[in-house]
Structure 1
Amino acid sequence: MSIAERIRQHSPRPATLKKAGLCTALGLALLVPGLSGLQAKLDESAIYEPVAPTIDQARANILIARQLQFTHFRNLGISDELSGDVFDAYLDYLDNQRVYLTQQDIDALSNVRNRLGSALKTGQLQPGFDIYNLVQQRVIQRLQFALSLIDEGIDNLDFEGNDQIRVDRSEAPWEADSAALDQLWVKRIKNAVLAQRLNGTEDDVIEENLRRRYEGQLKRAYQARSEDAFQAYMNAFTGMWDPHTSYFSPRTSENFNINMSLSLEGIGAVLQSDNEYTKVVRLVPGGPASKQGQLQPADRIVSVAQEGEKPVNVIGWRLDEVVDLIRGPRNSTVTLEVIPANASDESVTRSIDIIRDEVKLEEQSASKEVIELERKGQDYRIGVITIPTFYADFQAMQAGDPNYKSTTRDVRRLISELKEDGVDGVVMDLRNNGGGALHEANDLVGLFIDKGPTVQIRNANNDVQVLNDEDPTVVYDGPLVVLVNRMSASASEIFAGAIQDYGRGLVVGSQTFGKGTVQAVRPLNHGQLKITQSKFYRVSGGSTQHKGVIPDIEIPSRIDKTRIGEDALDHALPWDQIEAVPHNRYFDFSGIIDELRERHEDRFATNPEFSLLQKEIEFLTQQRQMDYVSLNHAERKDQHSQIENTRLTIANARRELRGEEPFDTLEDLEQWQDEQAADLDTTDDELDFVIREGGHIMADLLELDQRTASILSPTQFAAKAETR
């Protein structure tokens, strides 16, 4: 039986479809099956027009295939095995939660699975477009079913049984057929209704919200473009090499900054497509979202509302369209409805108001403060330098401005000021620093060492380039602690890794992101290809890729490492190592590291702030590990109350530590959070205990080995250093 016949067999009642006379390469029938049970109220004027590849796209496909095979860092050929992986990745992109296609559809496509590779080599795009068209029509069917269900009235839904729904269906089996999908979608609607009811929303408002959501998605499905299919297909293909290699359509290429940061009259966030959602990757330091404080990495955007207007549901929208909606005039307000990264399921959302503005360079600048500690009758003054990003004003630099701003120049000045303040040690805070200018990481290392290599860069031909600090001047020779977390990436990892390899200081915090690759953007006849061409290696030979930097002393973090980080990405390049390059080892911490860790653990065992952090991490972990949620109203309400009570208890315990009045209800807490976020002049010192702990570790260093101060003086470097 042919594929076309099999799909027709599973598509007994096709919906309205324009007769395009399309004869596909693989004979896939472009049909939408009818609805079992409830019948969708079809808009007879709405016609899905199957998208088809263009000659320009076919040529771009051939160029992409050649670039991937011959210039990418990973040596990977296009084989039958790769073809199957592309097929799976493409379906994962188009139907990640497995709510549109059935097992019957997958079976009908089975003989396509191992034929995509050879087709992609030669620019034969029709197989990928056939799959895309089929999925779009299944999407239309499902959304029509959802709207029909809502039209029947949500008061007819049963919330008293034992139904439950799986939270994450990305690895669930495909539903057998359309009837099974109907049952699943009834549960999805019930879950969405129940979540809003528990938040106090009236049924008529819930119906309006859901109808607007699904009508918006349906409109997008009917407006599918050829470029949508091509970009999705190419990114499933390029993603086989690594997650940072991707295709940019001509529209995206023209607005490349969209993929880097929404800094110009936007919110200052790096966004990317994540299946049907637009996901926050990271926040731009100094940007409106970062200063507002509520938007977090891994949050997924559900809707966008302009000031005084109704929200627009953006599930299923293209990234560039979501970006256009978020952008707007400076000082205007945009409201994002997001699914928080720590939400128990996709029905839990919150709204965040952000005032648009430009990201100013001075607001990304390094800053300093001095903390004072009293230990056994002895006072310590610890300088803290916070570096949000590795920046440089390239325009001012090229113009010859002697006072141009850069990370290294600013830190040099701050260190000088801290010396005048008489600090006993310096803590460099690189938490949430996503990287930036590579040469700044190189130069910054140079402020703390005599001279020598800082990072190695290896390309696909195994040629290794070594970046060096050539300046023998040492700006700071005292004890040093570097704070990192999971959001410390790229240039931050290069700096932290070099400091660790040189024995120049201790790295404290949590395992870093693991972004150790270098990309280049190459023009095509149609759009651009961002391709991984090199890999970073530490001076000790180990890569920062995948593994990141492992701290000498670990502090747990709220961030979910299974969802954020290089090792959480599909097809990420592995960790490996090359030969070390000769470098000095200024101090060997092995003799005191166990005692340092023991002291740290003893402090944290009695630290009420750390105890609260542990409770919060345990709470968030439990939320993330929930496989199913109940669709029984009473059970769900009880679960909802438990979650709210836990959040309130943790927040009030933290307020009690600060000598502040507790909140009576969760609504009071959320209102206060909104007020704090709206007032950009206020700061939350919730995590200051981590900085203070860095100061205590510094004091431990000084107490355990009084030699540290002299060993780290520049006059002692040659005598005390070990060459490796």
Structure 2
Amino acid sequence: MTIAEKLMQRRSQPSKVWKVGACTALTLSMFLAGLTGVQANIDDAAEYKPVAPTIDQARANILIARQLQFTHFRNLGISDELSGDVFDAYLKYLDGQRVYLTQEDIDSLKSMKSRLGSALKTGQLQPGFDIYNLVQQRIIQRLQFALGVIDNGLDKLDFSANDEIRVDRSESDWEASQVALDELWIKRIKNAVLSQRLNGTDDEAIEDTLRRRYEGQLKRAYQARSEDAFQAYMNAFTGMWDPHTSYFSPRTSENFNINMSLSLEGIGAVLQSDNEYTKVVRLVPGGPASKQGQLQPADRIVSVAQQGEKPVNVIGWRLDEVVDLIRGPRNSKVTLEVIPANASDETVTRDIAISRDEVKLEEQSASKDVIELDRAGESYKVGVITIPTFYADFQAMQAGDPNYKSTTRDVRRLLDDLKEQGVDGVVMDLRNNGGGALHEANDLVGLFIDKGPTVQIRNANNDVQVLNDEDPTVDYDGPLVVLVNRMSASASEIFAGAIQDYGRGLVVGSQTFGKGTVQAVRPLNHGQLKITQSKFYRVSGGSTQHKGVIPDIEIPSRVDTTRIGEDALDHALPWDQIEAVPHTRYFDFSGVIDELRKRHDDRFEISPEFSLLQQEIEFLTEQRGITYVSLNMDERKAHHDQIEQTRLTIANARRELRGDKPFKSLEDLEEWQTEQAADLDNTDEELDFVIREGGHIMADLLELDQHMASILTPAQFAAKAETR
């Protein structure tokens, strides 16, 4: 009998009694007394077939344990303390919101907590599989309970009481018993129903959506595979060393990084598993999702719908299966239902329609623009170079093509064009640049300095390798500003850090991501291990790891730094420093930085764009700070209407700044956003105010020091180099 048939049979038995236990709260008893639906028999979970480890997995486990202990950058042994941490991390992965297991379950598992470490050393996987199988059985019980609530009718749910539910339960106590979980799940269902009702969905459609969601998850639970348990267990284990060390199953290895870009036709996004959800890690520059503009890092995908078809709920799905569903032929449309990164709770979702396309290298290429600033009658011409990623066409390079594309080659050409146009200074925009080819970051620094080191790389044996720019040619010797934000990572941080250390330019924006580690992928007998083996350090000795690059002049960001960034990840390697290497300091900004910051603050004080940015940040911060939401219909509607009105107000304020007609309603805004997805060539041609501010800071530099334009000549570069 198939899962679907079992579900249909279960719903055709209205006379059965719902088994929930003898002791229950009054409100729950009253609700359960009214149930005329199916039996959510927790014994049905016995139909689940427990998964068991294989010999290949045991061997892979032993190899992983050895590599972690002897080749990882972090010197960490497998101890009793680590055993407890693995236990906690594993449960966090399997039941991160603490909605399946009870305190009774946790107590029954405590005897395993101190034994996992020694078992993992020797390939004894059964304890981890026992935990996995228990969680799968509890998931089945909960989903059966939820389906029973829906079968009984949504009209039986009471939305007049003053109930509320905690938004994030990751730090909550485990519920004491299955009965307590029953109460919690009724609240979860009420929360989901309320959210959809407030979005204008009728109860019939809500019932259909929730039923498909829970039945889909239930089907997945029954279809659990040994490899699912092994990958989850190994990643809880490897994650103790650092968040970038992970195990790839044989199938996941085929899609290393799950990067739907380059030759693959999709939406251009990098995804990863996040408990039951698939989470957006970053967007590929130039890809359909990046162009469309609505999908954001840390959004979690709830469902995927092909054009003209019903959405498929993907909560609980394997990552590779979600990726397969999102990929598709060019020019076809896919709609993702996501929980936005800034949502107040997991029931707040939005639909994002994206037209698939192939991400081409030229779409990720560096580009230039020129802005002119009129300041008290004085005109300044500022060149802007945007670098979405650090790229190189390795195939063309290996084939000997003298015209192969790369970041450094393209930027050199753009700089030549800007110099011909007579710009007074250059702004390098590295915002949202997640990195790329390390050698390109090294070579790019070389366009702005004389010979010298660009980055240090230290391995687990404390051996330090220094990458150098060996070319004495300086392609641009004028004033320089580098723009960064929280999504600037890895190679971007190396470039920005080097420019800052050399005093070659000012770094402006928000603290960068802090990804300062290097990984290698090593084959196993079964799958692969991605392991951290080295760490980046600036020429001044400080690591880019964890701390990232701190801007000289800060501009606040909408990004939630508690969720995005290296310092937001569990077990991230810490910041530290090693000895600096000799390098030139081309300009000392200490004498002018206070005045530069003051002028910047004065401009932003009266800037309507900055005022709007602050309003957005305050709104998002307020939403992120919500810990409970009401389950009372009237209270929830009032809160919902307030949020929607704020969204509309902010959107219209932005349109008015651009001279566009404001939207009459939120529906008009959402309809307009959906229309944008159909146009892959839709881009906002207007340079944003942060770039313009970079230009103003450039002009401030020239005004504060009239010698700035001349102190960075090639002759003086050489003179300064002699003093190193």
Relative to the length of structure 2, the TM-score reads 0.94
1:660 positional shift: 2.1
8 Å CA contact retained: 1:34, 1:141: no
Residues 510-554 of structure 1: CA deviation (Å, up to 9, x unaligned): 000000000000000000000000000000000000000000000
1:686 positional shift: 7.4
8 Å CA contact retained: 2:302, 2:314: yes
1:366 is aligned to: 366
Task: Please list, as runs of the form range in 1=range in 2, the aligned pairs for 1:61-140 lying within 5 A after superposition.
Answer: 61-140=61-140
- Is the partner of 2:548 in helix, strand or coil? coil
8 Å CA contact retained: 1:583, 1:723: no
8 Å CA contact retained: 1:102, 1:176: yes
1:650 positional shift: 1.3
1:225 is aligned to: 225
Give 2:501's aligned amino acid.
D
- Partner Cα distance (2:693, 2:721) in 1: 28
2:690 is aligned to: 690
8 Å CA contact retained: 1:303, 1:312: yes
Residues 271-291 of structure 1: CA deviation (Å, up to 9, x unaligned): 000000000000001111111
2:147 is aligned to: 147
Give 2:579's aligned amino acid.
E
- Partner Cα distance (1:263, 1:605) in 2: 46
Residues 474-494 of structure 1: CA deviation (Å, up to 9, x unaligned): 000000000000000000000
The 1:687/1:410 distance shift into structure 2, 3 A limit, reads closer
Residues 556-614 of structure 1: CA deviation (Å, up to 9, x unaligned): 00000000000000000000000000000000000000000000000000001100000
The 1:46/1:210 distance shift into structure 2, 3 A limit, reads farther
The 1:163/1:424 distance shift into structure 2, 3 A limit, reads same
2:712 is aligned to: 712
- Partner Cα distance (1:300, 1:372) in 2: 40
1:659 positional shift: 2.2
* Matching of residue 241 in structure 1 with residue 235 in structure 2: no
- Is the partner of 1:56 in helix, strand or coil? helix
- Partner Cα distance (1:298, 1:404) in 2: 34
Bigger CA drift: 701-710 or 466-475? 701-710
- Partner Cα distance (1:636, 1:587) in 2: 56
Bigger CA drift: 397-406 or 656-665? 656-665
* Matching of residue 163 in structure 1 with residue 159 in structure 2: no
Residues 461-515 of structure 1: CA deviation (Å, up to 9, x unaligned): 0000000000000000000000000000000000000000000000000000000
Task: Please list, as runs of the form range in 1=range in 2, the aligned pairs for 1:182-197 lying within 5 A after superposition.
Answer: 182-197=182-197
2:425 is aligned to: 425
Give 1:440's aligned amino acid.
E
1:35 positional shift: 3.7
- Partner Cα distance (1:85, 1:517) in 2: 22
8 Å CA contact retained: 1:482, 1:508: yes
- Partner Cα distance (1:720, 1:179) in 2: 75
8 Å CA contact retained: 1:478, 1:713: yes
Identical positions, percent: 87
Bigger CA drift: 393-402 or 304-313? 304-313
- Partner Cα distance (1:102, 1:436) in 2: 44
Give 2:477's aligned amino acid.
D
Bigger CA drift: 146-155 or 713-722? 713-722
* Matching of residue 601 in structure 1 with residue 601 in structure 2: yes
- Is the partner of 2:648 in helix, strand or coil? helix
1:47 is aligned to: 47
- Partner Cα distance (2:686, 2:669) in 1: 15
1:694 positional shift: 0.2
2:634 is aligned to: 634
2:15 is aligned to: none
The 1:400/1:685 distance shift into structure 2, 3 A limit, reads closer
Give 1:328's aligned amino acid.
G
8 Å CA contact retained: 1:35, 1:141: no
1:701 is aligned to: 701
- Partner Cα distance (1:722, 1:352) in 2: 57
1:257 positional shift: 4.8
- Partner Cα distance (1:283, 1:386) in 2: 16
The 1:105/1:418 distance shift into structure 2, 3 A limit, reads same
* Matching of residue 296 in structure 1 with residue 269 in structure 2: no
1:517 is aligned to: 517
8 Å CA contact retained: 2:147, 2:211: yes
Task: Please list, as runs of the form range in 1=range in 2, the aligned pairs for 1:394-409 lying within 5 A after superposition.
Answer: 394-409=394-409
Give 1:142's aligned amino acid.
R
8 Å CA contact retained: 1:267, 1:326: yes
> How many pairs are equivalent?
693
- Is the partner of 1:146 in helix, strand or coil? helix
1:684 positional shift: 2.9
The 1:133/1:352 distance shift into structure 2, 3 A limit, reads same
8 Å CA contact retained: 2:259, 2:269: no
Residues 249-284 of structure 1: CA deviation (Å, up to 9, x unaligned): 001112225258586011110100000000000000
8 Å CA contact retained: 2:262, 2:360: no
The 1:722/1:348 distance shift into structure 2, 3 A limit, reads farther
Residues 187-216 of structure 1: CA deviation (Å, up to 9, x unaligned): 000000000000000000000000000000
8 Å CA contact retained: 2:382, 2:427: yes
- Is the partner of 1:295 in helix, strand or coil? coil
Task: Please list, as runs of the form range in 1=range in 2, the aligned pairs for 1:645-656 lying within 5 A after superposition.
Answer: 645-656=645-656
1:412 is aligned to: 412
1:721 positional shift: 5.5
8 Å CA contact retained: 1:455, 1:468: yes
Task: Please list, as runs of the form range in 1=range in 2, the aligned pairs for 1:146-545 lying within 5 A after superposition.
Answer: 146-258=146-258, 264-545=264-545
- Partner Cα distance (2:327, 2:682) in 1: 25
- Partner Cα distance (2:228, 2:497) in 1: 40
- Partner Cα distance (1:505, 1:133) in 2: 56
Residues 379-406 of structure 1: CA deviation (Å, up to 9, x unaligned): 0010000000000000000000000000
Give 1:587's aligned amino acid.
F
Give 2:212's aligned amino acid.
R
Moved segments of 4+, more than 6 Å: 41-46
Relative to the length of structure 1, the TM-score reads 0.94
Give 2:548's aligned amino acid.
G
- Is the partner of 1:431 in helix, strand or coil? coil
8 Å CA contact retained: 1:245, 1:519: yes
8 Å CA contact retained: 2:522, 2:531: yes
- Partner Cα distance (1:45, 1:464) in 2: 55
1:13 is aligned to: none
1:46 positional shift: 9.2
1:679 positional shift: 2.3
8 Å CA contact retained: 1:262, 1:269: no
8 Å CA contact retained: 1:537, 1:543: yes
1:306 positional shift: 1.1
Give 1:583's aligned amino acid.
H
8 Å CA contact retained: 2:45, 2:141: no
2:11 is aligned to: none
